[in-house]
Amino acid sequence: MRYTGVPALAGVVTLLVAGCTAITPAGPGDAENVAVTALDWTPCYEGDEAEEAAEEYGDSAWVTALECATLAVPLDHDTPDGDTIDIALARVPATGGPDERIGSLVLNPGGPGESGLEMLSHPQLSEEIGEAFDIVSFDPRGVGDSGGFACGNWDALAAAQYEVDDPTAVTDADLDRLERAARDYADDCAETVGEEFLAEIGTVNVVRDLDLVRAALGDEALSYVGYSYGTYIGALYAEMFPANTRALVLDGAVETERPNVEVALDQAQAFQTSWELFVTDCSGEGTCPFTGAEAAEDEMTDLLLRLDADPPVVQDTPIDAGTMLGMVGQALYDETVWTDMAHTLTALEEEAADADELLAEFYDLTYGSSYEDDTAGEGGEAARNEDEEGEGFHEDADAALTAINCADRVDPTDLDVYRDAAERIAVDTPFFGPDLVWGQLPCAYWPDTDVAPTGFTAPDAPPIVVVGTLGDPATPYAWAEELADQLDTATLVTYEGAGHTAYGYGMPCVDDPIDAYLLRGEVPEPGLSCPAY
């Protein structure tokens, strides 16, 4: 038996691939070509807002210490005296004395489209790191408070996906509906946001912004931790600004070389592998309703069909098969949630008395936290207003995801390439797949942009640390191996568990050597591999 519904993973999966061009490394004096203004740091939260933020994030001292600022950077770095865009930053100053302070440590949460300001709302690194560094993050251009925007009718593209009766055999009529929805999405973004802005939103320009951020922070060289898509920002920074690089941690590496369709195949397989790890783990312990890895596909399919026939309702949301698969996909990002997932699936299968309660808790852990509309800025407000009016505008974080992905690569325009990839994914990974391809289809009709490079090796950069997780569902471990091999000065650290990214989660085998690298420049020993937590 095979489940042939369309999984709801579009809002869960974030990925980036690069285009196929080359770029000349920037010189150490490039920041001197732009008038970098001093940063005017002020408290991010004051009064009632501070109390509310402390209650939400659970750390009053951290919230009180948060400071915010903006930095004006050129919209087009080739025209430094032209229009500008304000980059929003946040920091928590180093808690150690002047003799302990090293400088700033800039973080990026990934996406593309994730807010660095939101990331910095709670502490996540060690006390020693916090003593030595100002912990800094920023919203990249086009994200959140740095010109975040909403565009395109994503609901129409999703509806076209759901109209595909058999994802393993996409008809010409199916393809026509998908093509129209994707083209309309791209056209609306070009009209709503402007082709000039979309042309300048890619990672090449984010990296140029980051070097201006470094200069404004007063650091001679950048110390940086990038997660997921943030690894691409860091790797490209090492290529473009090697003389301005101090230490880079690239955790959950993204693919930088191959076309998006090939990357979608990799990512779908990574979700499948992570799912199989979960099934093997929970069925071995008897905590989930599956009798083993081989039987799990049929058993999960039965459960999904039951949910479609009579979906329970949580927070006014019917939990049908697609919604459940979205929740499962989100849970695979964090292995600490796997026990909750196993208990929920068992309760649903057994129609247990506490099934609704467990389902509500699982929803809060996945959809409830990750899909809540916490966008900021004019773009976020526009997204909320349009949703209220039923226009189907994509949430601004996801609009940025699409726009940056489209800007950074050269995508195929032959629809049969997308159809072949979607059909292959539907066969190989029945629960996680075709929407990874169809979600990228607007890029086939995107305006011309300043595409990102491939083939870079950052030969002149100081030592770099790449971190990969064997069971990562979103950025396959093979991508970490590839990036570590690609960058001439990189060392790979392996976490043998599951989940998306590993540094900063309280695992000493991972955290301690990376802390030593950031603090003292001690590169982890080659081949370091940490057992599952």
* Cα–Cα distance for residue pair 135/121, rounded to 1 Å: 11
Token pair, residue 488, equals 């001439």
* Cα–Cα distance for residue pair 13/8, rounded to 1 Å: 10
Which amino acid is located at 22 in the chain?
A
Annotated catalytic residue: which of 450, 500, 511, 515?
A: 500
* Cα–Cα distance for residue pair 372/377, rounded to 1 Å: 16
228 is catalytic: yes
State how far the alpha carbon of 181 is from the alpha carbons of 152, 408, 421, in Å.
9, 21, 18
Which amino acid is located at 92 in the chain?
V
Annotated catalytic residue: which of 223, 228, 274, 283?
A: 228
Q: Are 371 and 11 in contact (CB under 8 A)?
A: yes
What distance lies between CA 498 and its chain's CA centroid?
16
Give the phi and the psi of residue 159 in degrees, each rounded to 5. Answer: -65, -40
Count the helix, strand and coil residues of the chain and give each as a percent rounded to the nearest 5: 50, 15, 40
Report how far apart the first and last C-alpha atoms of the chain are (Å, whole number): 35
472 is catalytic: yes
Annotated catalytic residue: which of 134, 174, 472, 511?
A: 472
* Cα–Cα distance for residue pair 425/421, rounded to 1 Å: 6
* Cα–Cα distance for residue pair 503/113, rounded to 1 Å: 20
Partners of 134 in beta bridges: 104
* Cα–Cα distance for residue pair 140/226, rounded to 1 Å: 13
Token pair, residue 152, equals 């395109």
State how far the alpha carbon of 278 is from the alpha carbons of 288, 331, 335, in Å.
10, 10, 8
- Crossing angle of helices 477-486 and 229-240, rounded to 10°: 0
Q: Are 255 and 165 in contact (CB under 8 A)?
A: no
Region of 356 on the Ramachandran plot (φ > 0 left; ψ -120 to 50 alpha; else beta):
alpha
* Cα–Cα distance for residue pair 482/17, rounded to 1 Å: 13
Q: Are 363 and 319 in contact (CB under 8 A)?
A: yes
User: DSSP per residue over 297-334, as a string?
Assistant: HHHHHHHHHHHHHS--EETTEE--HHHHHHHHHHHTT-
60 is catalytic: no
Which residues have a catalytic role annotated? 228, 472, 500
